[in-house]
Structure 1
Amino acid sequence: MKNLYPILLLLACLSGSVQAQNPLNEYYTKAQKAYETGDFRSYSLFMLKCDSIRPLHPVILQNLAGSYALSKQEEKAFETLYRLIRFKASPSLWEDADLASLKKSSAYAALQTEWQAEQAPILRSDTLFTMADSTAHLESVVFDTLTQRFFMGSVHHRMIYQRNAQGEISPFTQAHDSIMAILGIAIDYKRSLLWASSSATPEMRNYDKTLEGKSYILGFDLATGALRYRLEGPTESFHFFGDVLVDAQGTIWVSDSGSPILYRISNPEKGIETVSSTPALSIQGLALHPNGKYLYFSDYTSGVYIYHLGTQEIKRLPYNPQLYSMKGIDGLYFYDNQLIATHNGTDPMRVVAYQLNEEGTELIGRKVLENNHPAFFEPTLGMIHHDQLYFVANSAWRSYDKNGQPIPALLRRPLVFKMPLK
């Protein structure tokens, strides 16, 4: 059994919930003591409690499977391992001594076969363009159909780049204290603005602790790049604005993964409105149904939720975790009655199409479009244009040390991919 204290404490902080931290550590401590005394039945019960508080965490699931194996609950052990390999399983899984008793079962070979299938590459994307500056750390890309420009949001440089029709890349925004790490970006043709979610993170240049929890929605003039709007998020707790979406009516939607809340901006002059708190732990991507009735948002831990704009009801779209996982979704896009999702919280990373029913309220199918691409470092945000998904293929979050400083050996030239969806 591995020591989970650092991992669990980090997860509690990221969820923005102090209340969630104590029970998780309490049950883990009890699980560890039961493990050390050989009380494996109690160990499995306490690990199950940890799983219920923080579901689909790979280390917790692996320890839960080990607890079942040690307490001779073989069927539950395999059920848990199947849940695990659907989204993440490192090769070290097969060396876990707590799982040794399972190797005698015929089901063990079947599990390994399934794991190998989950790792099989599916390659459909091509490189649309790249940037020479390996420190840029692109997180998002959108295409302006009017001027044939691409805009790219940079985390580390705290700016937005533009790429013209001739392929020339240049700064679109100028340095400004209000501009922090640029995450999601979206074009607002109605107001001739480019909106961006901008949040403080140690990976950006000139970060200091006084900026922690600060988030803004920024509106830039689409022609000149001048900053027209600076809308600050709530200041009473930790916030991290991630994605931004502009609908056909010009309403701007914002996801907050720091305090899982949905926001909207109906009129920039009136600021940011809180739409709803959500049951999610970490809201990521946003997508809108063309009928204007449903907004979808991804939770990094548990899948996709649907928000009914008329009734304000929020519910999670159910799925069977024994068949596949919806964990680790970052970008989310609506296309041809499907939700196209970039998964960077899985191993391997992938792009998946989730088929919806005719009304758009239920999941009825799933197809992996891209899997285990060798260039994937962390696929993140983009957009759909002319039946193709444009997205950042290798966001650089894994290229920093614990203090948020770039590690030169891990830096890569940013890649923007295109993938046919037809």
Structure 2
Amino acid sequence: MILLRILCGFAFALAAHSIAAQPAAQGGNRPALDPATLTQQQISGVTVPEVLYQLAATYKAAGDHERLVWSLQRLIVLQPNVGDIKLALATAYAVQGDKSRTYDTLLRMQQQGYGYDLGDNPNFEKVHGTEAWDFIVDSLRKSLAPFGEGKVAFTLPRGDHLYESLAWDPKRERLLVGSVRDGTIQIADAQGRLKPFIAPDAGNGLWSVYAMAAVPEDDALYVASTSSVYFKGFSQQDFGKAGVFRFRLSDGKFVDKVLLESGNQPNTLSSIAAGPGGRVFAADGLRNIIYKLDGGALKPMVANPRLTSVRGLALSGDRSRLYFADHTLGVFGVDLAAGKAFDLGYDVARLVLGGVDGLYWYDGTLVAIENRMSPRRVMRLHLSDDGRAVVRAMPLDAGKPEFELPTYGAVAGDQFYFIANSQKNAYDAYGSPKDASKLEPVKVYRSNLRFAWAEGGVEMAAPARRPLSTSKPGNGRFSNVEGGSNSVTGD
């Protein structure tokens, strides 16, 4: 039941809604409102998605379809790249027998690239029986069909390793594989056999390897490492520590490291991007802060309370822009010279940029791994001359049976290697395998980055140029994220 699955799991008090949506009562008091009495205008004024999820779950349980629809409509405004919300809205329309709005919602989703098999879904029984419905079901089912010429390059050894990161060494033409559990970095050959390269020791102090970035021009391998409970060598005294570690790309020799300062909250570095001359950026995907290596320290560059989960980072070829993906909100950029953020513009009626984990730069394009999309896919995004808009989008591979959970990868010349079936969901909150016997060997997939380079894909006119965000602390806007911002330094 997709509707129940996406509406449940949120435990925010409904009192938070009255704070977000209710005007102050006379005398300054804010009595809690009864959810059953909220108007469409009040629900449309909510700015906190978690509150809307809780309201939607409440209305679903109570059978209040009208207010359920209002809540989902507002959620789509706040989180337009989350397909599950749109499908839940179509389901809510269908349960009421509203064929027109059900069909319209599903057709719009199909045009954006979504695919589902709804033919036997009992929630849509009331909207069956028309040619339009049959067409929609057939179109959505066709969108699930496997697409692309990519194949599994090799399979890594089975075991309790949690391989989550790859890096490519172009000078020696070798692929590096990082482990969250072991903290090791190994060299993989074409058959998936591994050879030791870097391991944690007293000299380097390496912890879980979450992300890597190779800079062959500087003979550098930068590693985003965190002392997490997933690390087999975890020590309580190191809890919450994280940093960027530099090794020589040629031989793995440890060079130096820069750790984040300890504070009231634990640090986690989960993604990294780097370029020649010591340009290094790393992101904390839990606290949603992007750091820049500057003067021997990691200094906050981007932060905003509206961000939900910062994932992939990608540095443009001319090193003038840093792109980053928020798993829920989409893809954004930062003009590094100006120190200001911008939306990555695109035609929202024809493209979805949600659920992006890995994000990479290749020959003037961005390569995005969308694992929250249905079907899961790898997209190549051709950009405008200024790099601030998508003018054409092409799936490289989509809907492949191996794509159980594609996450992160590495550009290797004209090839793209990535993890197709991450095992991270097979671990519990304490960092241990839920059932070690069920851990699957990790498949490393290979896509051709020049697939259909000059043809095919979704063409779209570049959106009107939007001004860079001023991103002044405490006010203004951070790109399309509403509310106060302390996002980018320098303004």
400, 404, 418: which one pairs with 2:427?
400
2:384 matched to which residue of 1? Answer: 357
CA contact 1:199–1:213 (8 Å) conserved in 2: yes
What SS does structure 1 have at the residue aligned with 2:125?
Answer: helix
User: Matches of 1:33 and 1:274 in 2, distance apart?
Assistant: 38
2:438 matched to which residue of 1? Answer: 410
User: Matches of 2:278 and 2:252 in 1, distance apart?
Assistant: 20
2:180 matched to which residue of 1? Answer: 155
* TM superposition shift of 1:185: 0.4
CA contact 2:11–2:54 (8 Å) conserved in 1: no
User: Matches of 1:47 and 1:109 in 2, distance apart?
Assistant: 25
The 1:303/1:107 distance shift into structure 2, 3 A limit, reads farther
User: Matches of 2:170 and 2:53 in 1, distance apart?
Assistant: 52
What SS does structure 1 have at the residue aligned with 2:143?
Answer: helix
CA contact 1:354–1:367 (8 Å) conserved in 2: yes
299, 302, 312: which one pairs with 1:276?
302
Bigger mean CA deviation after superposition, 230-239 or 181-190? 230-239
Render the CA deviation track for 1:273-312: whole Å, top value 9, x for unaligned.
Answer: 1112245321111222223322111111122112111222
Which amino acid is the alignment partner of residue 257 of structure 2? Y
2:488 matched to which residue of 1? Answer: none
User: Matches of 1:356 and 1:119 in 2, distance apart?
Assistant: 26
* TM superposition shift of 1:196: 0.8
334, 341, 346: which one pairs with 1:314?
341
User: Matches of 1:365 and 1:148 in 2, distance apart?
Assistant: 30
Q: Gaps (5+ residues) in structure 1?
A: 11-18
CA contact 1:193–1:220 (8 Å) conserved in 2: yes
* TM superposition shift of 1:394: 2.6
1:231 matched to which residue of 2? Answer: 259
* TM superposition shift of 1:70: 4.1
1:196 matched to which residue of 2? Answer: 223
Bigger mean CA deviation after superposition, 149-158 or 100-109? 100-109
What SS does structure 1 have at the residue aligned with 2:128?
Answer: helix
What SS does structure 2 have at the residue aligned with 1:366?
Answer: strand
User: Matches of 2:320 and 2:342 in 1, distance apart?
Assistant: 14
User: Matches of 2:143 and 2:399 in 1, distance apart?
Assistant: 9
* TM superposition shift of 1:201: 4.3
Q: Gaps (5+ residues) in structure 2?
A: 13-19, 21-45, 451-491
Give the TM-score, by structure 2 length.
0.73
Higher relative contact order, structure no. (Cα contacts within 8 Å, ≥ 6 residues apart):
1
237, 256, 261: which one pairs with 2:289?
261
Q: How many residues align?
A: 411
* TM superposition shift of 1:262: 1.7
User: Matches of 2:343 and 2:349 in 1, distance apart?
Assistant: 17
Which amino acid is the alignment partner of residue 126 of structure 2? S
Render the CA deviation track for 1:30-83: whole Å, top value 9, x for unaligned.
Answer: 444544555422221133334445554455433322333345554443344456
Render the CA deviation track for 1:379-406: whole Å, top value 9, x for unaligned.
Answer: 2322223211122233211322454322
1:16 matched to which residue of 2? Answer: none
Which amino acid is the alignment partner of residue 69 of structure 2? S
Over the matched positions of the two proteins, sequence identity in percent amounts to 23
Equivalent runs, 1:102-141 vs 2, <5 Å? 102-141=127-166
221, 235, 243: which one pairs with 2:271?
243
* TM superposition shift of 1:408: 3.2
Structure number with larger C-alpha Rg: 2
Render the CA deviation track for 1:344-369: whole Å, top value 9, x for unaligned.
Answer: 22233211111112222211111111
65, 68, 74: which one pairs with 1:49?
74
CA contact 1:83–1:325 (8 Å) conserved in 2: no
User: Matches of 1:3 and 1:131 in 2, distance apart?
Assistant: 32
